[in-house]
Structure 1
Amino acid sequence: MTDLERKIYRIIYNMSLFRRNPTMDDLKRKTGKDEQSIRKTVKNLMSRNELTWDKEKKEWRFK
């Protein structure tokens, strides 16, 4: 995992512990990156099955 992937993973994981999904603005503010790089990183995490989105429960699932 790259540093950005690890950082985004930890942000999503920690915020989901409090039943809150981070918004794009949250991720931009906490990482200092632009929307395009955040989307690309989340897609990479999802393609490697590190993260999955549960559509029914509207929450993240972790490996």
Structure 2
Amino acid sequence: MTDLERKIYRIIYNMSRFRRNPSMKELKRKTGKGEPEIRKAVNNLISRKELEWDKEKREWRFK
């Protein structure tokens, strides 16, 4: 897991504890990275089964 992936994972995990999903704007502000980099990191986390999106509940599931 890269530093950016770890940072995004922790942001999503911590915000989801309060039943809130971070927006792209919040992720950009908190990581200092652009949208393409964030999307790539999130897709990498999903492909490695670190993160999973539950469409019904509209929330993240964690490994």
Q: Same fold (TM over 0.5)?
A: yes
**Which consecutive unaligned segments of at least 5 residues does structure 2 have?**
none
Identity %: 79
Aligned residue in 1 for 2:62: 62
**Which consecutive unaligned segments of at least 5 residues does structure 1 have?**
none
Mapped to 2, the partners of 1:36 and 1:24 lie a distance apart of 11
Q: TM-score, normalised by structure 1?
A: 0.99
Aligned residues: 63
Aligned Cα RMSD in Å? Answer: 0.2
Q: TM-score, normalised by structure 2?
A: 0.99
1:6-34 deviation digits (Å, cap 9, x = unpaired): 00000000000000000000000000000
Structure 1 segments, 4+ long, off by >2 Å, are: none
